[in-house]
Structure 1
Amino acid sequence: MASEPVAHTTSKIEVSIAPLFATPVLTFIAEEHERLNAELSRVILEREASQPAHSDPEVIGWSSPHDLSMLEWAAPAINELLGHVIHIASQMTELLDASVRHEQSLEWRVAEIWANVQRNGGSNAAHPHPGSFWSGVYYVDSGEMSDGLSGGELRLFDPRGCLPRMLAPYLRYKIPALHDAGTSISLTPSAGQCLLFPGWLFHAVNVYSGNVPRISIAFNLDPMLKGS
């Protein structure tokens, strides 16, 4: 995240440091998530037991089809969850041109949504979600990730690529906010937690080795402009 410029004095020269081009990663806990998760866990595990996995070479584990069918078989719990998600997306996005805001309003369309179940050995290869303004993941059950030994973390990659490390792998910027330049960050989520991030941000799931299913829901949101 971008921070305020930091003044650094060296000799008699004052240098102002301003980390720029931040990438937004929004995190929130869904309201009444324990009740929601109990229902979502039930319907997702029933679906896993009765339906074959969606074919996706990036995924080791079970996924439902990447479409809108989950809005039917996981209702009404999934619709309640998406209400929270769309509310946050609306609060954190605005129209660029102030003059247009009086004539049009911004709404969100769920482009696709699917469930994931990963057991011992499951993972997701690095990938983006092209064409979506916001992408996200909601954690129904974090499995055994909290022990720090079972993996399964969400891994986010520096969108600037690995160029800083390729040019000088033995150096890093003398600014704590930039120590992740050219690398990736692994986040350990908890049940009930939802993350929203730009669809262009490459992300992956580290190999999970827990014995309890890791259950998540991924989705993409597309913007729609409505006339006033």
Structure 2
Amino acid sequence: MTGGSRGVGAGVVARLAADGAQVAFTYASSKERAEAVVDAAVEAGGTALAIRADSLHEQDVVSAVAQTIDRFGGVDILVNNAAVGSFGTITDLAMADIDAMLTINVRSAVVAIRESLAHMGSGGRIINVGSINADRTPFPGQSVYALTKGAIASLTRGLARELAPRAITINNLQPGPTDTDANPADGPLAAGMLGVMASDRFGTAAEVAAFVSYLAGPEAAFITGASLDIDGGFAA
């Protein structure tokens, strides 16, 4: 999976490892944080491999898939989780920030999918972690971020048609406000987000990871091309 060293990604690594998967995940910066995620996966009875790779760079993503194949021999489940968010109006955002969102949030997912499909057999699973902002942007300054997540939803629908003959499913998971270090439930933006939700709390990384676990399992074999919300009623 891409982007597994913190937040939702770390939760997904822990859950899939506990489910018995051998998990390779990428991280862009903190080796120490990535090693802690590996340790947690081992403590849960699983196996994890941390690969330093910046999703801003295509070759890093290509190399991460190759290292996964070298270590584990194939790819049964791909989780595209790496993402970045820069918020501001279209005229205020720097083009460098816009390019980074387009590259990391969209292009790197395409690269990871292309590289993984060469090693993925029948019954494979691709799970894209998008955002509820693809469907609802109640505050100004989210337009480009929402664009990238809408692109992931569209990519998921299109690829479902291409991959169905190979019995590979692909789905788009759309979390709403989730309590992470990047978006804490007690942070300065929390009150505004809670004000547009049906729920009175943020979600947790463990809840999102449980949904990923379900989509990765055999009971979800008839779900493909779907954008599935886990948002506490953010889009209700």
| TM-score interval (norm. to shorter) | under 0.3
Q: RCO higher in 1 or 2 (8 Å CA, sep ≥ 6)?
A: 1
The structure where strand makes up a greater share of residues is: 1
Larger Rg: 1
Structure 2 length as normaliser, TM-score? 0.25
TM-score (norm 1): 0.26
Greater fraction helix: 2
